[in-house]
Structure 1
Amino acid sequence: MKVFSTSIQALEKGIQYSGTKHKAISDNIANVDTPNFKRKEVSANFGEVLRQTLQSKKTDNRHLEFSKGNPNQPFKVTTSSNSYSHNGNNVDIDKEMSDMAENQIYYYTLIDQLNGKFQSLQNVIKGGRS
């Protein structure tokens, strides 16, 4: 028996993705002046995310499984190899700050949705009374 719905699990994965992305962006910003530093970028492993999402919705045992990817990490951190400045660094501070703002909006949206789910559960537990 599952205590929480798959939507809460999907929100949890999204929050984990946002946290990992925030860590990578923060690292990029902190090393903006470090010679030969290469920026890190977080990308989702689409096959694994899709498999996890559809796993509970499989209607027939003959349907194909997605077997590639690490089930514990549906997203990965990659390092780009190009460089933009004379010291070998490829961090663009304007892009990083823009990515940080976008990621914060994404994170707060997920938190708001998760809060709504828990408010609904709390309302059900209380029997609809305030």
Structure 2
Amino acid sequence: MNLFNNSTTSLLETALSASMTRHNTIAQNIANVDTPNYKAKKAVFSHELNSAMNNQRLAANRTDARHIEFSSRNSTDEVQVIERNNTQYNHNGNNVDVDLEMAELAKNQIYYNTLIDRMNGRFNSIRTAIGQGR
């Protein structure tokens, strides 16, 4: 049994990485709040993109059992950064809403702290199990 490389730790690691990407994207938006023609970006999980594109999914028929089966889900739940082009808040073509970005930053910070607490709890449990914690 591997104590450190299991599915839960892997999931927490992926979620922490996604949260960092989301934080960097929000910070970039805030830094470019006054940049002319800058379009705000948003970090999105690939499975959310797939669910949004369900109506546009192509149907595929397998003509031979040896063909690879098509799936609606990617095998990875990576974060993708997309541009928001549907709004314009400033006269200079910029669409960064600083209030929205600050709210998203606070929400992401709470999410990140929760993940860190969960990861610390897992490591504390392991430390207790091997007799190092009291």
| Structure 2: runs of 5 or more not aligned | 49-68
Deviation at 1:13, TM superposition (A): 0.8
Q: Hey, what's the Cα distance between the residues in 2 that align with 1:15 and 1:101? A: 15
Instruction: State the secondary structure of the residue aligned to 1:76.
Output: strand
- In the alignment, residue 88 of structure 1 is paired with which amino acid? G
The residue that corresponds to 1:88 in the other structure is: 93
Q: 1:70 to 1:76 in 2, by over 3 A?
A: farther
Q: Is the 8 A contact 2:47 2:74 kept in 1?
A: no
- In the alignment, residue 77 of structure 1 is paired with which amino acid? V
Instruction: State the secondary structure of the residue aligned to 2:10.
Output: helix
Sequence identity of aligned pairs in percent? Answer: 41
Aligned length: 113
Structure 1 runs of 4+ aligned residues shifted over 6 Å read none
* Structure 1 residues 38-53: aligned runs within 5 Å: 38-46=39-47
Query: Per-residue CA shift, 1:7-30, capped at 9, x if unaligned?
Result: 111111110010000000000000
Q: Hey, what's the Cα distance between the residues in 2 that align with 1:65 and 1:123? A: 45
Instruction: Please point out which of 78, 81, 85 is paired with 1:74.
Output: 78
The residue that corresponds to 2:17 in the other structure is: 16
- In the alignment, residue 106 of structure 2 is paired with which amino acid? A
| Structure 1: runs of 5 or more not aligned | 48-63
Deviation at 1:83, TM superposition (A): 1.6
Q: Using structure 1 for the length normalisation, give the TM-score.
A: 0.76
If you compute each CA radius of gyration, which structure gives the higher value, 1 or 2? 2
Q: Hey, what's the Cα distance between the residues in 2 that align with 1:6 and 1:43? A: 22
Q: Hey, what's the Cα distance between the residues in 2 that align with 1:24 and 1:126? A: 41
The residue that corresponds to 1:117 in the other structure is: 122
Q: Hey, what's the Cα distance between the residues in 1 that align with 2:119 and 2:71? A: 27
